Structure 1
């Protein structure tokens, strides 16, 4: 019996679980501890059981053997006995690991469209992504590259698969609204403080976006990427911000996959 195939079929058919996406480089992983903490925290919310970080480390290390680094590793947690008839007495979760090549950053700053939308249980990186991807599709059909989510009251929350940040020329501002606490965002905040750039969280409304000098998106795989436009608000290229974000990124050391 091919257990890995059975596991993939369970993940696909039940679609109840959570995941994290990890960029693995030859030298290690940025934010590995945070990824492992996320998997354990989300597993307790979704399944009522935690996930052992040492097991995840070893399984990821096994999965990347034979692959040319860097790679994009997705670790998906699922319970084998989960079904619509049983979502209470769940077994401790196991994981499925997929390994893919890293995609290059876009050559031009993406243009994003705002949309009133809230992810269910936004603090968990869960596998319920249909509505999220449909929002991206609708934005792309309208001629944009991606989508930025806004609460019904106009507060900006997050992007499709990324957090959003704004720059006023002296500090970085992150929206204070329900959103996934992204690994890259957390690392950038630490890195910005290391390189002497202030940052803060506060409510940002869609009507505020024209008052900022620049905007960017942050994602653990792609890293920070400057945004070219949100709706009809266009941002000029900002090499100073791009340099600051790269400095912040490099200020956080990589962690070895295995101790």
Structure 2
């Protein structure tokens, strides 16, 4: 089932024109929103980001929080669920701006946080000069192919370098590093999506009295760090146990545990 332009459909498939700009050119934007006890986490931030992207790509469409909240509740009631994830899409940018909402169960288990993620590097680069790099569009094929290739090699995600050889982001995550008691994350100008959870983790760390240094990060930097973690809207902060040949002690990564605890409090104030 799904919501299409605020109308609930109990079908599992939908009709899409073969001339659709979404189908032909990937001209869609999307947000992935975590649900907790039937409430969408950080919905205002998600809508602010997608509405900004709509403006950048020349659309006059603006999503209203009240409408999206109502549509989410319709979908959750029909599916009889309270936990999981909503995918919110605006399709056919500038040629209809149709809004689609779908639901899926959440996939991150508590055991993963004890084990930590293993990361490798992609052979494909993020182009920091490409406008699409900074927006969550359906032009996601290269990242998904590299993500699948990484899975085949035993990685949980893959990191992308930019054209200058700097670390940018994962296929599905943003990345943070801890080195000599200082926290680093790649600068937006390096060529990455401004993740919602990336911003929330920065806020949490600021509340903990810890400053995040946003800067260009060379590929070899990870070898000199004490720990690392990745973030996205569904997982929060996930400790990293390994990047290529470099191993980190997840059991000593107490910072991610503290971050996730603080995120819980932040969620209560912003859902």
Is the TM value for this pair above 0.5?
Answer: yes
Helix, strand or coil: the match of 1:77? strand
- 1:100 matched to 2:104: yes
> Which segments of 5 or more consecutive residues in structure 2 lack a partner in the other structure?
none
CA distance in structure 2 between the aligned counterparts of 1:95 and 1:114, rounded to whole angstroms = 34
Asked if the contact 2:22–2:28 (Cα under 8 Å) also holds between the matched residues in 1, the reply is: no
Deviation at 1:222, TM superposition (A): 1.4
- Paired residue for 2:126? 118
Maintained 8 Å contact 2:223/2:246: yes
Alpha-carbon distance in structure 1 between the residues aligned to 2:216 and 2:32:
27
**CA separation of 1:222 and 1:7: change in aligned 2, threshold 3 A:** farther
The separation in 2 between residues aligned to 1:136 and 1:69, in whole angstroms, is 28
Name the counterpart of 2:232.
219
CA contact (8 A) 1:112 1:229 kept: yes
- RMSD value, Cα: 2.5
Verify the 8 A CA contact 1:172 1:199 in the aligned structure 2: yes
The alignment status of 1:42 with 2:53, answered yes or no, reads yes
Report what 1:109 is aligned to: 116
Q: Using the TM superposition, give the Cα deviation of residue 187 of structure 1 relative to its aligned residue in structure 2, in angstroms.
A: 0.7
Q: Does 1:30 align with 2:37?
A: no
Contact 1:228 1:236 in 2 (8 A): yes
| Contact 1:50–1:92 (CA under 8 A) maintained in structure 2 | no
Query: Normalising by the residue count of structure 1, what TM-score does the alignment of the two structures yield?
Result: 0.85
Match of 1:74 among 81, 87, 90: 87
| Equivalent in 3, 6, 18 of residue 15 of structure 2 | 6
Deviates more, 1:148-157 or 1:118-127: 118-127
Q: State the 1:52 CA deviation.
A: 2.4
Which protein, 1 or 2, shows the higher relative CO under an 8 Å CA cutoff with sep ≥ 6? 1
Q: Is 1:130–2:141 an aligned residue pair?
A: yes
CA displacement at 1:145 relative to structure 2: 2.6
2:244 is the counterpart of 1:235? no
Q: Call closer, same or farther: CA 1:255–1:61 in 2, change over 3 Å.
A: farther
Contact 2:117–2:239 (8 Å) recurs in 1: yes
In the superposition, relative to structure 1, how do residues 138 and 104 fare at CA in structure 2: closer, same or farther (>3 Å)? Answer: closer
Higher helix share: 2
Is contact 1:28–1:256 with CA below 8 Å preserved after alignment? Answer: no
- Residue 144 of structure 1: aligned partner: 155
Structure-1 separation of matches of 2:60 and 2:192 = 23
Deviations 1:137-189 (A, max 9, x none): 22223332321011232210000011001112533211121100000011111
Q: CA deviation at 1:199?
A: 1.5
- Count matched residues: 247
